[in-house]
Amino acid sequence: MKLKSRHLLGLEGMTKEEIELILDTAKSFKEVLERPIKKVPPLQGKTIVNLFFESSTRTRISFELAERRLSADVVNFTVVGSSVAKGETLKDTARNIEAMKVDMVVIRHSSPGAPHFLSRVVKANVINAGDGAHEHPTQALLDMMTLREKFGRLENLHVCIVGDITHSRVARSNIYGLKTMGARVSVCGPKTLIPKDIEKFGVGVYYNLEEVIPQVDVLNVLRIQLERQKSGLFPSLREYHRYFGVTREKMQFATKPIVIMHPGPINRDVELSADLADGPHSVVLEQVTNGVAVRMAVLYLLGTTTIVENEVH
Amino acid sequence: MKKTKVLDAEGLRRAINRLAHEVIEKNKGVDNVVIVGIRTRGDFLAHRIAKMLEELEKKKVPVGLLDITLYRDDLHGKLDQPKLKSTEILFDINGKVVVLVDDVLFTGRTIRSALNALMDFGRPDMIQLLVLVDRGHRELPIRADFVGKNIPTSRDQVVQVAMSEIDGEDAVYVIDNEDQEKIS
């Protein structure tokens, strides 16, 4: 059993067996993270470059730790705040990567499809660490790993993703992954932040937290990006908090214990109240731990497959 | 394909019994001994050895399991990826005598991987190797301290150890198969 593609570009189109393989492998790597020496040799001699065209702390550190714990050599390339236009520079970067004989590339880019473009022009394995509002597959995988630990299954779990669905790559990857694994998925947020044709993904749509909370097992609360307010998609942070902030008061509508997730970083008391973020139902820090294990699994599975000559993805 | 039974359930039980006695004799008891089995067949073998040691010495012997996949030297050459399983060594191996257990000793490459993996867990006083079958054809300077049965084989034969825990019977077979690829 191995992954069909040499790259991890998104969860769209990935099979249940492939996702299960990644999650099972991640479980084994979690044990490695608990050892006194948290390092194993499978990617010895491999060079991985982390290409971050968009700022990120958690994801970049998580990838870097995962890479180093698999004994790979790591190079970081960060272009924070630079206004690199997509096409040309990315192509140039790709040429440079080829020239430097890099084995794997982890890329985050503000343009959807940037990793796909890269995967067509370089020989290295490409891993998508977030491309615009498109996908963020490793985040969804670590979310699913955390849920599988908590509930022992993903089938028939009801997960509601709360917040800015339109601009969220986390939401999209979670929807693809969870639907493939047989979970029930809903979204909840202001009408201005939910895509019009979202039903075609097979998810339930709610505009009211009180209505959805009694039905769910999990709330995955997305970070509300403050710049969205400037573009007039919601009136104020206080109003957003009043209607869509997950708070203790709103949790009183729950009929069973609900697991609360957040991809981070949290705007405390905006999308999620501070007491809930630190409370017993929050699995925010487990998500971070599992992030390293999931990324090790993906790097290991992609990095140790033999490249068959003339294989075209 | 010709399949010859070289050890039956009774023979396997006697071999394990003798191996357990040898471990006790060599270490003058089991006070400082821990057992680590290499997944998958070494796992069941390790538990049987430990059980036998407990019966003989009336002392509990810790058992750990080692998955060596991440330490293999042929990880990048395989077309089908070996499935990664968990390592479970829930005790400190520093200062202990580790009896490393595997079903078949062949090229020695699995044992090389296991030694590297064990070193990442600490510094045992000594590592001893126990195998049920030694079939020869070593590619590395490695030898076993305790051997259940020496079985001379040719390189293209396959030695298959069946254990009732997963295979439904206890037995050791030698399989002649010209077509099959070498399995280590």
Q: What is the pLDDT of residue A88?
A: 60
> Mind telling me how many Å the CA of B166 is from chain A's nearest CA?
20
Residues A148 and A272 in one domain: yes
Record the pTM.
Answer: 0.89
Q: What is the pLDDT of residue A148?
A: 97
The domain containing residue A123 runs over which residues?
A: 16-134+289-303
**In this structure, how many other beta carbons lie within 10 angstroms of the beta carbon of residue A206?**
19
- Residue tagged 């597959």 (tokens): A137
Q: Enumerate the residues of chain A whose CB falls inside 8 A of the CB of residue B67.
A: 28
| Residues A83/A108, Cβ–Cβ less than 8 Å | no
Query: What is the C-alpha to C-alpha distance for residues A108 and A106, in angstroms, rounded to an integer?
Result: 7
**In this structure, how many other beta carbons lie within 10 angstroms of the beta carbon of residue A51?**
24
- Residue tagged 């079958």 (tokens): B133
Closest to A2 (Cβ–Cβ): which among B69, B76, B81? B81
Q: What is the pLDDT of residue A228?
A: 75
Residues A24 and A108 in one domain: yes
Q: What is the pLDDT of residue A194?
A: 95
Confidence of residue A78 (pLDDT cuts 50, 70, 90): confident
As for how many domains chain A has, the answer is 2
| Residues A198/A166, Cβ–Cβ less than 8 Å | no
Query: What is the C-alpha to C-alpha distance for residues B92 and A185, in angstroms, rounded to an integer?
Result: 44
A293-308 average pLDDT score: 87
Structure-block tokens of residue A96 = 């440079």
Residues A247 and A177 in one domain: yes
pLDDT above 70 (res A83): no
Half-sphere exposure of B14 (CA within 13 A, CB side): 6
Q: What is the pLDDT of residue B116?
A: 94
Mutate to test the interface with B, among A29, A305, A309, A311 (most CBs of B within 10 A): A305
CATH number (domain holding residue A260): 3.40.50.1370
| Residues B157/B50, Cβ–Cβ less than 8 Å | no
Cβ-based neighbours of B166, under 8 Å, separated by 6 or more: B40, B44
Residues A262 and A128 in one domain: no
Amino acid, res. B53: L
Q: Which range has the worst mean pLDDT, A110-119, A217-226, A301-310?
A: A301-310
A159-181 average pLDDT score: 97
Q: Report the C-alpha dihedral over residues A299, A29, A173, A150, rounded to 10 degrees.
A: 180
What is the domain partition of chain B in residue ranges?
A: 8-71+92-153
Q: Which of residues 287-306 of A touch B (CB under 8 A)?
A: 300-301, 304-306
Instruction: Split chain B (184 residues) into runs of 10 and give each run's mean pLDDT.
Output: 92 96 97 95 95 96 94 78 86 96 96 94 96 96 97 93 93 81 48
Class of B8-71+92-153 per CATH?
alpha beta
Q: Which residue has the higher pLDDT, A199 or B100?
A: B100
Contact status of B141 with chain A (Cβ, < 8 Å): no
Peptide bond into A78 cis (omega under 30): no
Percentage of residues in chain A having pLDDT higher than 90: 78
Residues A75 and A157 in one domain: no
pLDDT in tens, A47-69: 999 999 888 889 999 999 999 99
